[in-house]
Structure 1
Amino acid sequence: MDDDREDFVAAGAEEARRAAVLRPLVQAYLKGTGSLESGINDAVWELGVSRATVWRWIKRLAEEGGRTSALASRKRGRPTGTTLISGKVEAVIEEHLRRYFLRRERPSLSRIVTEIRSACWQQGLQPPTRRTVQRRLDAMDAREIAKAREGAKAARQKFAPVVGDNKANRPLEVVQIDHTPADIILVDSFERKPIGRPWVTLAIDVATRMVTGYYTSLEAPSRLSVALCLTQAVAPKAELLAELVRNVPWPAQGKPHSIHVDNGRDFRSHAFRSACAEWGIDLVYRPPGSPHFGGHIERLIGTMMGAVHLLPGTTQSSVVAKGDYDAEGMATMTLSDFDRWFALEICRYNNSIHSSLGCTPVAKWEALSEQMMGDIPFEIEAFRVSFLPSELRKVRRDGIHLFQIRYWSDALAGHIGRGDGKVVVRYDPRDLSVIWVELDNDRYVEARYRNLEIPPVSLWEYREAMRNARALGKSGSNELVLAELIRQQRQIESESRSLTRAERRSRERKGTLEGANSAVSTTEGLRAIDTGDTSRPLFKVERW
């Protein structure tokens, strides 16, 4: 490479020497005054070339305005752009490329070449080769081709200029969040049979590339996914690390100043926007047609899925990459296994050298930690609850009715009949045994089942039980029907030896309910309601 550079410099110096000798002759040539013979003879002697070459160079300099580059060596052969095929063949190629190749059906070039050659034979013309057609295609506007074959959006993503800047200078200044289905088939923890792919929600700090939080689930992305991912992102990681591996730093904690998200419904919900506003988090949506806006989280997802592709049961990133690999047959990991593995992979990522940083995300976080703005102390549990789904309900004499289940807390007694009686009620779809009710001064209290015969149940279990009740024509109190049906369903499940994938997936979801709740909530087990216990903690939440 150095030799090529030296040759290029030497050639440039020689061209400059020739131009210096010939420019006076060019001026005389253009003015048409005086004889050039003596000057040309001197140039022939000084440059060591023939008279014809000197004359050719003089004319080139005259045509190019005296630029030195006019004397650069030129390739032998036909000038670029010269064509040897007839104009009629050119017309056939042009017509077929524009009419048949530039289509959303995206026919192959081989098919178009075959049709071009056939059309030429029919017209008595010499058919062009594939290479000739390829050159004509290469000469066309690449953006026009992409727009015609892939659509305007794809063309913009490929060729539109990237404007704006998506940078951050301090930890937690900008955090990006997104969801993705993981490229792996999981099995249930009961029979170790396939139940499908899990979803992963990830949060990354832009300034340090630190993964601040994650959440894995068998459910499609929702407000709950965002809430639990954000809760883990803002919370200290000591308890999580104690269960995984010791002496591995994961210092990310604290509320982000700004969250960058896409335009999914879970991020557009009123509850999510209100919760962000409540905690002073600036919510920024990705501009439509601007995938680069979320580039950091997209690259993180790609990196994480690359690691997932090494696990048994991986589906790879495409059918082609998967080949004949039997993902379901090779699947061995449960959701719990995958969650633990994914947490360790995040720790590995956070403590590995990042190419764009030149250091690990942990080291970058620690280096920039002094620039972090101080955060107002807040309750992690209150933060989590404020992002949960909510409903407006009246405080009745027998408690609060949600999903036709009655809830009670002694703290509700003083609110019966007060005003219109409506309060904000928040719930965790994974466990309906407890709800959070907003009371005076923007504070909430826990309320639990009034009927303690009902076992802890998820919203999905509840709806399934109610559908079964309607199918069986059962009537009466929903609470009694619910308790009976859930007991029967769980008994059948425990006795079943061969379940469908959907049923195994449902049972796995129920089986992980207790563990998931204990990881993100500090709520106690069921207890009697009428104990008069008013010592339960109260936290601030948003006001609608």
Structure 2
Amino acid sequence: MSDPFPNEIDDALWDEACRRADAIREFLKRRTGNATAAEVGKLAVKMGVSQATAYRLIKLFRAGGTVLSLVDRKRGRPEGHRTLDERREEIVRVTINAYYLKRTRPAVSQLVRDVQTNCISVGLKPPHRRTIVARLADIELQKRAKRRGEQKIVKATTAVPGVFGAGRPLEVVQIDHTKADVFVVDEETRQPIGRPWLTLAMDVCSRMVTGFYLTMGAPSRLSTSLCLLHSVFDKSAWLREREIRELWPVAGLPNTVHVDNGPEFRSRAFKRGCQDAGIAIDWRPPGEPRFGGHIERLIGTQMGKLHLLPGTTFSNEQDLGEYDSKRHAALTLRELERYIALDIVGSYHQSIHGALGRPPIAVWREHEGEIPLRLPPDRLRFWLTFLPEQERTLRPTGIHLFGLRYWSAALSADVGRSDRRLLVKYDPRDMARIFVRRPSGNFVDARYADVTLPSITLHEALIARRTLLAKGRREVDTRAIVRTAITQRELLETATKKTAAARRKTASSKSKVDDRGWGSLRGVDSSKPVPFVEDTD
């Protein structure tokens, strides 16, 4: 521990140190060589200390040359001094590491019991509680908090030397996921089907939401890519389809996407797609959530809005209480998507942002003319790059995907020409059309073979397919199947027995015929030659 500064010393101690310094300076001025014991004794009397202390003070002053070096130090045990023997120190250290620095966060009282038990078990006197607590205080606070998963302490003890920001819109866009704090229901049955995942993208400069994607699937390359596509392209048609009149003017390629280290952001397809479009990827430092603070605060804001909806799970069990989230769930996935979109464009964008002191849309409009709007040179190619894909065989009836059938006149020339499976790109948000890569390499737009069918999402298609299969299983008469199987088994056993009996009968009849044909030769030794008798007639 470093020495205190002069202004931190008690007045009485400082005055006494100054008096001693003056006496020693005067003493040293009159001496050119070593002082005698008698001379040091006189100095000791003058300073009111023992002769031994006088020698010590002279030595300290010669070494330091300052008044501070003569200030009385605290009496008692030197700082950092340990009174426990090495064996007990080792037991305390090992017990703290093994039983206390854990994410289960055991109490200090439990640690004290563990240490005392471990000492007694090897025949040592257990240390006092104060000693054990003092050893905890020696551990660096942030290290202790990280080991015990105490995130509030970690955050409070983490230095934030700078602010992560951007100088203009679309310079940096942050993307992140969260599980929505609300249950949604099925479109047809209106029964709860689970909590969806929300992927959000936000412009760091203006705090505008650039896009989002809502899905029942867990975070993946798909949800990340669809959120990015929603961010980049104009949203006018998207808003019209959802009967939303407010404007959402954000569009264009970001310079950099700022993401965490999830596997969906590390996928080869996502990285290559961004590289191809000239989008840099900036991954947050592992274990440093503060670098994603902007998007995380936005997610917290959006989740707070969902706590007002029927079927909410709130953010913790205390708030939830006896509220039955599933029983109260009322919104479908499509309805929740529209609700979130309305809140973003009609409330969040129009409200004063705490950090900006202005509405996000006002900041965007202010810089709108300065934004070098970058759009993909080939929009269809950029879109297809980020869409998911499957491989399918082209049949005479078309392309079959997820139980749906698609056709395009452009595929007629390829039917029966090749056995090679074709790459099929699809948009899970709109399954009314797919994109099929022909053997020649170019993509064609294929639509429902039944043009009267409405557009549905992939989730709706899969739910419908599972519903039909479940209905089919319910219509199956299991008893009839079992009865039929038993009858078939008996039929096979009977037929097998009849066939075997018939074959044995045939074999027996043949044996009797053979016996009658060779009856005159019985008793003849066939190994001896039969004598030749000449016919005289």
On whether the aligned pair clears a TM of 0.5, the verdict is yes
Change (3 A) 1:108 1:317: same
1:426 alignment counterpart: 425
| Deviation string, structure 1 residues 161-218 (Cα, Å, up to 9, x no partner) | 9899964332112212122101223345666553321211100122333221112233
Aligned length: 458
2:372 alignment counterpart: 373
Range with bigger deviation, 19-28 or 345-354? 19-28
1:299 alignment counterpart: 297
The amino acid that maps onto 1:447 is: A
Change (3 A) 1:72 1:461: same
The amino acid that maps onto 1:173 is: E
Partners of 1:469 and 1:330 in 2: CA distance: 26
Q: Which of 197, 200, 203 lines up with 2:198 in the alignment?
A: 200
Change (3 A) 1:277 1:410: farther
**2:422, 2:439 within 8 Å by CA — same for their partners in 1?**
no
Partners of 2:186 and 2:419 in 1: CA distance: 47
Higher relative contact order (CA 8 A, sep 6+): 1
Shift of 1:255: 1.8
The amino acid that maps onto 1:199 is: W
2:344 alignment counterpart: 346
The amino acid that maps onto 2:137 is: D
Q: Secondary structure at the match of 2:224?
A: helix
Partners of 1:438 and 1:330 in 2: CA distance: 45
Correspondence 1:205-224 to 2 at 5 A = 205-224=203-222
**1:258, 1:283 within 8 Å by CA — same for their partners in 2?**
yes
Q: Which runs of 5+ in 2 are unaligned?
A: 1-5, 36-41, 477-537
**2:172, 2:258 within 8 Å by CA — same for their partners in 1?**
yes
**1:156, 1:289 within 8 Å by CA — same for their partners in 2?**
no
Partners of 1:64 and 1:328 in 2: CA distance: 77
Partners of 1:301 and 1:324 in 2: CA distance: 25
Higher Rg of the two aligned structures: 2
The amino acid that maps onto 2:249 is: P
**1:223, 1:267 within 8 Å by CA — same for their partners in 2?**
yes
Q: Secondary structure at the match of 1:315?
A: coil
Shift of 1:374: 3.5
Change (3 A) 1:199 1:52: same
Correspondence 1:107-506 to 2 at 5 A = 107-117=106-116, 125=125, 128-129=128-129, 131-142=130-141, 145=144, 167-188=165-186, 193-238=191-236, 250-286=248-284, 288-319=286-317, 322-347=320-345, 348-376=347-375, 383-393=382-392, 398-402=397-401, 406-414=405-413, 424-429=423-428, 432-438=431-437, 444-450=443-449, 458=458, 459-461=461-463, 464=466
Shift of 1:301: 2.1
Change (3 A) 1:51 1:391: same
Partners of 1:369 and 1:290 in 2: CA distance: 32
**2:253, 2:375 within 8 Å by CA — same for their partners in 1?**
no
Partners of 1:56 and 1:239 in 2: CA distance: 92
The amino acid that maps onto 1:252 is: V
Correspondence 1:87-126 to 2 at 5 A = 93-94=92-93, 96-102=95-101, 107-117=106-116, 125=125
Q: Secondary structure at the match of 1:434?
A: strand
**2:403, 2:465 within 8 Å by CA — same for their partners in 1?**
no
Shift of 1:355: 4.2
Change (3 A) 1:426 1:190: closer
| Deviation string, structure 1 residues 230-284 (Cα, Å, up to 9, x no partner) | 23322344566676776x6643221222223344454444544454344333344
Partners of 2:192 and 2:470 in 1: CA distance: 25
Partners of 1:428 and 1:277 in 2: CA distance: 21
Change (3 A) 1:362 1:89: same
Shift of 1:312: 4.5
Q: Secondary structure at the match of 1:391?
A: strand
Provide the aligned C-alpha RMSD in A. Answer: 5.5
**1:353, 1:361 within 8 Å by CA — same for their partners in 2?**
yes
| Deviation string, structure 1 residues 475-502 (Cα, Å, up to 9, x no partner) | xxxxxxxxxxxxxxxxxxxxxxxxxxxx
Shift of 1:389: 1.5
Percent identity, aligned pairs only?
A: 39
The amino acid that maps onto 2:363 is: K
Partners of 1:408 and 1:444 in 2: CA distance: 13
Range with bigger deviation, 465-474 or 286-295? 465-474
Partners of 2:137 and 2:445 in 1: CA distance: 67
Please, what TM-score do these two structures have when normalized by structure 1? 0.63
**1:15, 1:71 within 8 Å by CA — same for their partners in 2?**
no
Shift of 1:143: 6.0
**2:91, 2:118 within 8 Å by CA — same for their partners in 1?**
yes
**1:236, 1:253 within 8 Å by CA — same for their partners in 2?**
yes
Partners of 1:114 and 1:297 in 2: CA distance: 44
Partners of 2:370 and 2:200 in 1: CA distance: 24
Q: Secondary structure at the match of 1:425?
A: strand
**1:394, 1:421 within 8 Å by CA — same for their partners in 2?**
yes
Please, what TM-score do these two structures have when normalized by structure 2? 0.63
Q: Secondary structure at the match of 2:198?
A: strand
Range with bigger deviation, 198-207 or 210-219? 210-219
Correspondence 1:527-542 to 2 at 5 A = none
Change (3 A) 1:454 1:91: closer
1:33 alignment counterpart: 31
The amino acid that maps onto 1:343 is: A
Change (3 A) 1:465 1:245: closer
Q: Secondary structure at the match of 2:64?
A: coil
The amino acid that maps onto 1:225 is: S
Partners of 1:379 and 1:14 in 2: CA distance: 82
Partners of 1:337 and 1:135 in 2: CA distance: 57
| Deviation string, structure 1 residues 313-332 (Cα, Å, up to 9, x no partner) | 43233445545444334544
Range with bigger deviation, 119-128 or 319-328? 119-128
Partners of 2:235 and 2:225 in 1: CA distance: 16
Shift of 1:409: 1.6
Shift of 1:107: 3.8
Change (3 A) 1:312 1:451: closer
**2:232, 2:375 within 8 Å by CA — same for their partners in 1?**
no
Q: Secondary structure at the match of 1:316?
A: coil
The amino acid that maps onto 2:306 is: V
Range with bigger deviation, 9-18 or 325-334? 9-18
Partners of 2:178 and 2:446 in 1: CA distance: 34
**2:115, 2:126 within 8 Å by CA — same for their partners in 1?**
no
Q: Which runs of 5+ in 1 are unaligned?
A: 1-7, 36-40, 42-48, 475-544
Partners of 1:221 and 1:120 in 2: CA distance: 49
1:537 alignment counterpart: none
Partners of 1:204 and 1:383 in 2: CA distance: 20
Correspondence 1:22-101 to 2 at 5 A = 33=31, 62=61, 65-66=64-65, 80-81=79-80, 93-94=92-93, 96-101=95-100
